[in-house]
A and B are shown apart, each in its own frame.
Chain A
Amino acid sequence: MKSIMTGLIGLVLTLQTAGQVRISGRVTDTKKSPLIGASISIKDSYDGATSDTAGRFQFVTAEKGEHTLIVSFTGYKGWEQKITIGTDALNFTIELKEEFNELKAVVITAGTFEASDKKRAATVLNSIDIATTAGSNADITAALKTLPGAQQVGEKEGLFVRGGAGYETKQFIDGTLVNNPFFSSVPDIASRGRFSPFLFKGTVFTAGGYSALYGQALSSALILESIDLPEQSAANVFVSPLTWGGGYQQLAKNKKSSWGLSYGYTNLGIYFNIVKQTPDYFKIPQFHNGDANFRIKTKRGGMIKYYTTFASGDLGLRRADIDSAVLKDAFSLKNYNWYNNLSWRENLGKGWKMNLGAAFSINKDDIQQQIQNGYNKPVTTNTSYIDGKNFTLNHRQDFAALRAVFEKRIGGGNFIRFGSEYWYSSDRSFYNSYTSRLTDNYNAVFGEADIYITNALAAKLGTRFEYSSILGKANVAPRLSLAYKTGKDAQVSAAYGIFYQKPENTEMIYTTKLGYTKATHYILNYQKTSNNRIFRTELFYKKYDDLIKTYPVTSNSGDGYAQGFEFFWRDKKTIKNFDYWVSYSYLDTKRDYQNFPEKLTPNFAAYHTASLVTKRFVTKIKTGFNLTYSYATGRPYYNFQLSNGKYNIADQGRTRDYHSLGFSVNWVPSVGKKNAKAFWVFFASVNNVLGSNQVYNYNYSYNGLIKQAVNPPAKRFYFVGIFLSLGVDRSEDAINNNL
């Protein structure tokens, strides 16, 4: 009996094995490298296997006849083949094609510091980073100066990028140009940017080689993307001895729309009483600032956003006149600015996207300078070069922009984008009795394509066609960039482009028979990123052509170059709760423009610039400590004197090296309190803690015999303030930024 049983079992087993077919093979990618962990299966059966470390697999199946063999692996396109299972073993060599993957794909980074997409580890600076960068006082431009490429220029606002002047950097909000991104300034004192970093969810700082979607900036484009709907409704209040204000944001119950209002008032009276300023302020700086917005989420997931801000400012200051021992220059400034931005982004379906934008702004400056005597009374000296400093200037700039960009996704990461923009600008000035008006109608048409040849190799090709009515000239600006992934987290990218910019209005006042100024960029970039660490280095060469010479006649006869290299390293990982970045820039630049007698390094260019930014959050006491150290070697200064119909260098030198140590503390007691109704932030900061003597430039007397250092109005700048947000649990934000 037993033997029969064994025999029977044996028979059944044999039958079973005889009925089974072995299926084996190997799974590789298109480069024949094995893929480990790919799933191989026969459709609608349990039978299958997983590829091993050599990409090999094998299994047996009892299925018979027509079947489908399926191979799948994350990140690769699926593979299917009809097979017939008979009695013979089957063997397959399977090649899987990589799928386009946004996270894995190479990104063009030449010239660009992007700070938006949180999924990418390459995030460089977000709004909290900007606010907590010591020394920046929550000013976007000031924080960006800690990145490579930008100079530590303190006497003029703007980003001076890679040998470019401040006006060679343009700012764009949701695609449209911002005509007056900074508060109107006083000579030799830089002003702040008008826009808070918290208005933006994305910041792209390009130090060159930027996309064909943008133009009219020889050196750099700062591309800002405004926030969408707020997380919740909230009321905010901020109080400090310098400035106070509040705002309210209402999010609709269905979370589809929101509106908000805010107002701020700044008065430096108390501050100037405590911290002595070098200039004598006869009118204490006062600023009113109001803004309003609404945002609507559309049915198809698009956004309509409107933002408006109105600002007025008033100040007056007196400084010693350089041409005399007793006289003073009294300078006063009234500024009004109204900015509007309306944008609509929409998904049109079938891979089409649309971005429409409209912007409108008015900026009005009323400036007066008066020569005064020791008793602060106006005087006439009958010396033409002194009396010539008396002036009144009423300056009004109107600007309107319309823009439309369409984008079509053509599979994988491939996109085409095209669009057009129109800018209207009107610049009216009344200088003493002289009146001038410059009106320009500017049109641009542009197109670009993002092409992914593989996940590891991408190209961006673009062209921009521009026409400006005031110049009566057109131009064509090609742009090209490439990126190649050299390793898991490493990539090389290169960019080339031609950039045109209209001459400044201050130059076109004399003649409009000018052409575009021109810069050609060549950039080579290497970047390595891993979780919370980023290293990048960039090599660049920039050629300037057709720069504006103002002497002997105003013409496009200037030129120049800039070249150098930069490093950037950021590490949030090595030490817990400690975030730091280091940047270094080497810059060699010379140009012949304005009244330069020859090719010279301009005043806004230092050979070496470096910054160290550190941030430490101590969870135990819920306090963040931030320290920033910036260094730059001295910058050149010149005195040009006109003799025999020619400008000569009467004197020149280099300023002392620049050092600045900034420190700030933020105490966030509400962190971690679940459902806290009130969220408090206490903030204190000091700029130039060590009180280094910062010399930005030298001013010369008319005869060139006296020179005077240009310093900040006070050695140090202090700020203390309280921020309170009601009705919202923002502790998640804080945890987010400090964990």
Chain B
Amino acid sequence: MKHLLIAFALLSGTIVNAQSEKFTAAMQKQLALLDSAKTTQDFQTVANAFERIGDAEKTQWLPYYYAGLALTRAGWMDKTLDKDANAEKIKALCVKAEAIEKNAEIYTIRNMAATQQMLVDPQSRWMSYGQESGNALQEGLKLDPNNPRLYYLQAMGVFGTPEQFGGGKTKAKPIFEKALELFKAEHPKPLYPHWGQGQTEQMIAQCK
């Protein structure tokens, strides 16, 4: 009986392992594709693949997170992309991810989506989307006050605001430095988000 139980435990362990191995392998494959993606089409393809993984898994927020991340990258890169439609899609992915787990990383995605919408017409959208992106940062920091990506995004916002309005290089630099410090202390779990350190280093160089 005891043996049977052990055998059963081992067997089920193997199945679980097999499943997570399949998940890990699929995620790693898509992460590699995300890193090498260049066109909007590439990003969309990766985002769709991540979403499929998320829909099949049902208990993993990471695939939705990466699907959203892929679409924000398309948003930064593609000037002609319909930012509102793209952001709506990203936010829908965030909702799916948050239904599984609410965390700071998802707020980085929400921040970027709202920022992209704001940048369409900063003058008239500052009040709505500027506030939305700011709120995302605040909410994210509440959940994880040491998330380096949130500081990086905050610094980017300050960097992009004209000096006269309380922004500029000098004000952004200390925040970038704080982000870098946190990046260096970060030990992300496998598959977990770890982007941003390189960008932060580049921005610090630009602030000089």
- Residues of chain B within 8 A (CB-CB) of A737 are 123
Q: Take A39-B48, A47-B52, A53-B41 as given contacts and tell me if A118 and B165 are in contact as well, using a CB distance cutoff of 8 Å.
A: no
- On whether the beta carbons of A736 and B165 are closer than 8 Å, the reply is no
Of B7-15, B124-132, B141-149, B191-199, the one touching chain A: B124-132
Closest Cβ of chain B: how far from A616's Cβ, in Å? 13
Q: Take A74-B89, A732-B126 as given contacts and tell me if A672 and B164 are in contact as well, using a CB distance cutoff of 8 Å.
A: yes
Closest Cβ of chain A: how far from B170's Cβ, in Å? 14
Once bound together, how far apart are the Cα atoms of A671 and B164, in whole Å? 7
Q: List 23 A-B contacts (CB under 8 A).
A: A37-B41, A39-B48, A39-B52, A41-B51, A44-B55, A46-B22, A46-B53, A48-B49, A50-B45, A74-B88, A118-B124, A123-B124, A531-B121, A572-B123, A671-B165, A672-B163, A672-B167, A732-B127, A732-B130, A735-B126, A735-B161, A736-B123, A738-B123
- On whether the beta carbons of A739 and B41 are closer than 8 Å, the reply is no
Residue A253 is within 8 A (CB to CB) of chain B in the complex: no
Q: Other than A736-B123, A736-B124, give 16 A-B pairs with Cβ distance below 8 A.
A: A37-B45, A39-B52, A41-B48, A41-B51, A44-B55, A46-B49, A47-B52, A52-B41, A103-B84, A118-B125, A619-B164, A672-B162, A672-B165, A732-B126, A732-B131, A733-B127
Once bound together, how far apart are the Cα atoms of A736 and B129, in whole Å? 11
Residue A525 is within 8 A (CB to CB) of chain B in the complex: no
Convert A654-679 into 0s and 1s, putting 1 for each residue whose CB lies closer than 8 angstroms to a CB of B.
00000000000000000111100000
**Total A-B contacts with CB atoms under 8 angstroms apart:** 95
Once bound together, how far apart are the Cα atoms of A39 and B125, in whole Å? 30
In the complex, the 3 A-B pairs of residues with the closest C-beta atoms, listed nearest first: A672-B165, A39-B48, A736-B126
Q: Which residue of B lies closest to A45 (CB)?
A: B56
Residue A36 is within 8 A (CB to CB) of chain B in the complex: yes
Closest Cβ of chain B: how far from A317's Cβ, in Å? 43
- Residues of chain B within 8 A (CB-CB) of A45 are 52, 56
- Residues of chain B within 8 A (CB-CB) of A736 are 123-124, 126-127, 130
Residue B26 is within 8 A (CB to CB) of chain A in the complex: yes
- On whether the beta carbons of B166 and A672 are closer than 8 Å, the reply is yes
Give the contact-size bracket for chain A.
35 or more
Report which of B49, B56, B165 forms a contact with A50, defined as CB distance below 8 A.
B49
- Residues of chain B within 8 A (CB-CB) of A733 are 127
Closest Cβ of chain A: how far from B181's Cβ, in Å? 23
- Residues of chain B within 8 A (CB-CB) of A36 are 41
Residue B135 is within 8 A (CB to CB) of chain A in the complex: no
Convert A718-739 into 0s and 1s, putting 1 for each residue whose CB lies closer than 8 angstroms to a CB of B.
0000000000000111011111
Residue B85 is within 8 A (CB to CB) of chain A in the complex: yes
Residue A622 is within 8 A (CB to CB) of chain B in the complex: yes
Closest Cβ of chain A: how far from B56's Cβ, in Å? 5
Once bound together, how far apart are the Cα atoms of A52 and B41, in whole Å? 8
Closest Cβ of chain A: how far from B10's Cβ, in Å? 24
Q: Take A46-B56, A52-B41, A736-B124 as given contacts and tell me if A622 and B85 are in contact as well, using a CB distance cutoff of 8 Å.
A: no
- On whether the beta carbons of A619 and B55 are closer than 8 Å, the reply is no
Residue B44 is within 8 A (CB to CB) of chain A in the complex: yes
Report which of B48, B89, B130, B166 forms a contact with A48, defined as CB distance below 8 A.
B48
Q: Take A44-B56, A50-B44 as given contacts and tell me if A735 and B165 are in contact as well, using a CB distance cutoff of 8 Å.
A: yes
- On whether the beta carbons of B55 and A43 are closer than 8 Å, the reply is yes
Convert A500-519 into 0s and 1s, putting 1 for each residue whose CB lies closer than 8 angstroms to a CB of B.
00000000000000000000
Once bound together, how far apart are the Cα atoms of A684 and B124, in whole Å? 24
- Residues of chain A within 8 A (CB-CB) of B41 are 36-37, 50, 52-53
Which residue of A37, A103, A531 has the most chain B CB atoms within 10 A of its CB atom?
A37
24-83 of chain A: CB within 8 A of chain B: 36-37, 39, 41, 43-50, 52-53, 74-75
Residue A470 is within 8 A (CB to CB) of chain B in the complex: no
- On whether the beta carbons of A74 and B85 are closer than 8 Å, the reply is yes
Closest Cβ of chain B: how far from A299's Cβ, in Å? 23
Closest Cβ of chain B: how far from A714's Cβ, in Å? 35
Residue A456 is within 8 A (CB to CB) of chain B in the complex: no
Q: Take A36-B41, A531-B121 as given contacts and tell me if A731 and B165 are in contact as well, using a CB distance cutoff of 8 Å.
A: yes
Which residue of A48, A53, A123 has the most chain B CB atoms within 10 A of its CB atom?
A48
Residue A620 is within 8 A (CB to CB) of chain B in the complex: yes
- Residues of chain A within 8 A (CB-CB) of B51 are 39, 41
Give residues in B with beta carbon < 8 Å to A. 22, 26, 40-41, 44-45, 48-49, 51-53, 55-56, 84-86, 88-89, 120-128, 130-131, 161-167
Closest Cβ of chain A: how far from B104's Cβ, in Å? 24
- Residues of chain B within 8 A (CB-CB) of A123 are 124
Closest Cβ of chain A: how far from B98's Cβ, in Å? 19
Report which of A52, A75, A572, A620 forms a contact with B164, defined as CB distance below 8 A.
A620
- Residues of chain A within 8 A (CB-CB) of B126 are 732, 735-736, 739
Q: Which residue of A lies closest to B83 (CB)?
A: A531
Q: Take A41-B55, A50-B45 as given contacts and tell me if A673 and B166 are in contact as well, using a CB distance cutoff of 8 Å.
A: yes
Closest Cβ of chain B: how far from A400's Cβ, in Å? 36
- Residues of chain A within 8 A (CB-CB) of B55 are 41, 43-44
Once bound together, how far apart are the Cα atoms of A732 and B128, in whole Å? 11
- Residues of chain A within 8 A (CB-CB) of B128 are 118-119
Once bound together, how far apart are the Cα atoms of A123 and B124, in whole Å? 9
- Residues of chain B within 8 A (CB-CB) of A37 are 40-41, 44-45, 48
- On whether the beta carbons of B26 and A46 are closer than 8 Å, the reply is yes
Once bound together, how far apart are the Cα atoms of A210 and B15, in whole Å? 67
Residue A121 is within 8 A (CB to CB) of chain B in the complex: yes
- On whether the beta carbons of B166 and A674 are closer than 8 Å, the reply is yes
Which residue of B44, B120, B165 has the most chain A CB atoms within 10 A of its CB atom?
B165
Report which of A44, A531, A731 forms a contact with B120, defined as CB distance below 8 A.
A531
Closest Cβ of chain A: how far from B36's Cβ, in Å? 15
- On whether the beta carbons of A121 and B84 are closer than 8 Å, the reply is no
- On whether the beta carbons of A50 and B48 are closer than 8 Å, the reply is yes
- Residues of chain A within 8 A (CB-CB) of B48 are 37, 39, 41, 48-50
- Residues of chain A within 8 A (CB-CB) of B162 are 619, 672, 739
Closest Cβ of chain B: how far from A291's Cβ, in Å? 25
- On whether the beta carbons of A48 and B52 are closer than 8 Å, the reply is yes
Residue A532 is within 8 A (CB to CB) of chain B in the complex: yes
Closest Cβ of chain A: how far from B95's Cβ, in Å? 14
Which residue of B45, B120, B121, B123 has the most chain A CB atoms within 10 A of its CB atom?
B123
Closest Cβ of chain A: how far from B46's Cβ, in Å? 9
- On whether the beta carbons of B165 and A739 are closer than 8 Å, the reply is yes
Once bound together, how far apart are the Cα atoms of A668 and B127, in whole Å? 18
Once bound together, how far apart are the Cα atoms of A46 and B49, in whole Å? 7
- Residues of chain B within 8 A (CB-CB) of A119 are 84, 128
Q: Take A37-B41, A619-B162, A733-B127 as given contacts and tell me if A532 and B121 are in contact as well, using a CB distance cutoff of 8 Å.
A: yes
Once bound together, how far apart are the Cα atoms of A50 and B124, in whole Å? 35
Report which of A41, A674, A731 forms a contact with B52, defined as CB distance below 8 A.
A41
Once bound together, how far apart are the Cα atoms of A620 and B162, in whole Å? 9
- On whether the beta carbons of A75 and B85 are closer than 8 Å, the reply is yes
- Residues of chain A within 8 A (CB-CB) of B22 are 46
Once bound together, how far apart are the Cα atoms of A43 and B126, in whole Å? 40
- Residues of chain A within 8 A (CB-CB) of B56 are 44-46
- Residues of chain A within 8 A (CB-CB) of B164 are 619-620, 622, 671-672
- Residues of chain B within 8 A (CB-CB) of A39 are 48, 51-52
